[in-house]
Chains A and B, each alone.
Chain A
Amino acid sequence: QSALTQPASVSGSPGQSITISCAGTSSDVGGYNYVSWYQQHPGRAPKLMIYDVNDRPSGVSNRFSGSKSGNTASLTISGLQAEDEADYYCSSYATSNTYVFGTGTKVTVL
C-alpha cells in the first residue's frame, strides 16, 4: 500500500492550464478505473472534484478534467483562477478491496 506519487507543487498564472500527475502501479491506478481527485483548502475537509477517472460531480466546474494512461492519472485545471489555489490529492481503488491516496500537490496561482 505505497502512496501514489504526485509532484509536491505546481504553479501557474491566472488563465493558464496546469496538469497534476498521479503515478501508481498496475495494482491500483493501472488496474481500475476508480481514480478520484480531491481539492483541499487549509483547515477544510477535502472536496471531490473528479471520480471514475474523468467524471465530474454536479456543481464542479468544467475547468477541471481527468484522464488516465497506463499507471498514471492526471488532473488538468484550465483557466486557472485564484480560488483554485489549494492542495490536491488523487486516490485509486487498489487490490484486496483497499484504497490508496497520492502524496498531494500544492497548487499556487502566481
Chain B
Amino acid sequence: EVQLVESGGGLVQPGGSLRLSCAASGFIFGNYWMNWVRQAPGKGLEWVSRIRTDGNITSCADSVKGRFTISRDNAKSTLYLKMNSLRAEDTAVYYCTRGWGFDYWGQGTLVIVSS
C-alpha cells in the first residue's frame, strides 16, 4: 500500500525556517517525481515545488522561489522541503504528492507562520 507521511510542521515566527519531511513507503520511491502542494486555511490548492527522480532537476512556484528548496534522499525514501524566510502567507497545510498526476497524497502537515 502506498503511503506518504509528512512531518515537521508547526508554529514559526515570520522570517524563520522549517524543514518538512515526507516518508514514502509501498512503492519504489526513486522511480517517481515528487511534489509539494499546499493549501492555506479555507483556500484552494497551490503547487509549490517538484523534483525529478534523481534529484537533479527541480522547479518551484514564483511565490516561493529563492526561499524554499526541495530535495530527496532515495536511500531513505524521503522527500524534503526546506523553507526559509517564512511569511504569514506561507501558513498552510503542506502535502507531498507522487508523480506527474499527483496520484497519491499524504495527510498533510500544518505550518503556521505567526508572531
Residues of A within 8 A of B (CB): 1, 3, 34, 36, 38, 40, 45-48, 51-52, 57, 89, 91, 93, 96-104
A45 and B105 in contact, given A89-B44, A99-B35, A103-B44 (Cβ under 8 angstroms):
yes
CB contact list, B87-115 vs A, under 8 A: 95, 100-108
Q: How many residues of B contact A (CB 8 A)?
A: 23
Determine chain B's interface SS by DSSP, over half rule: loop
A97 and B50 in contact, given A45-B107, A102-B44 (Cβ under 8 angstroms):
yes
Q: B44 to A3, Cβ gap below 8 A?
A: yes
Q: Does any Cβ of A come within 8 Å of B61's Cβ?
A: yes
Closest A residue by C-beta to B48 = A99
Smallest beta-carbon distance B37→chain A, Å? 8
A40 to B97, CA, bound (A): 14
Residues of A within 8 A of B47 (CB): 91, 98-101
Closest A residue by C-beta to B101 = A51
Smallest beta-carbon distance A9→chain B, Å? 13
Q: B101 to A52, Cβ gap below 8 A?
A: yes
Q: B35 to A46, Cβ gap below 8 A?
A: no
Closest A residue by C-beta to B93 = A45
Choose among A1, A34, A40, A45 the residue that contacts B100 (Cβ–Cβ < 8 A). A34
Residues of B within 8 A of A38 (CB): 45, 102
Choose among A36, A45, A98 the residue that contacts B61 (Cβ–Cβ < 8 A). A98
Q: A48-B103, A57-B103, A97-B50 are in contact. List 7 more A-B contacts (CB 8 A).
A: A1-B62, A45-B105, A52-B101, A89-B45, A97-B57, A102-B44, A104-B44
Q: B44 to A97, Cβ gap below 8 A?
A: no
Smallest beta-carbon distance A21→chain B, Å? 15
Q: Does any Cβ of A come within 8 Å of B46's Cβ?
A: yes
Residues of A within 8 A of B45 (CB): 38, 40, 46, 89, 91, 101, 104
Q: List 24 A-B contacts (CB under 8 A).
A: A1-B61, A1-B63, A34-B100, A34-B101, A36-B102, A38-B45, A40-B45, A45-B106, A45-B108, A48-B101, A48-B104, A52-B101, A91-B45, A93-B100, A96-B59, A97-B57, A98-B50, A98-B59, A98-B61, A99-B35, A99-B47, A100-B47, A101-B46, A102-B44
